[in-house]
Amino acid sequence: MNTAIITGKVESNVKVINTDNGTPFCRFTLESNDRKFNCLVAGKKAFGFVYEVKMGSEITIESVINDRNQLVVQKFKVLNPPNYFGQVFDYKGHMMPHKKVMF
């Protein structure tokens, strides 16, 4: 099996895909050195990945390359979370939806 360790920036929203047998998948695009990689996170790791990683996060992944040239993530580490400077948050610290106006 081919393995890869890549550090890059998440360039797409993390999308959750449910399969027929109930196994969750997360799909996202990782950009590293001007190359884009199609990545998948499967199983119970997908739940933690959805909550920790957002678009714009800088992460390092350890992955296996499948037959469709996708990176199947085995381990991940968030290096820099995205910067939310200038965005509006509610009183509990949650980001406000883009359609709501506070003022």
Tokens of 52: 């920790």
Domain ranges of the chain: 3-80
User: CA 7, CA 58: separation in Å to the nearest integer?
Assistant: 7
Structure pTM?
0.74
Tokens of 46: 């997908």
Give the architecture (CATH level 2) of 3-80.
Beta Barrel (2.40)
Instruction: Encode pLDDT of 44-102 as tens digits.
Output: 888 888 888 888 889 999 999 999 989 999 999 999 876 665 555 555 556 555 544 44
Task: List Cβ neighbours of 70 (8 Å cut-off, separation of 6 or more).
Answer: 38, 39, 40
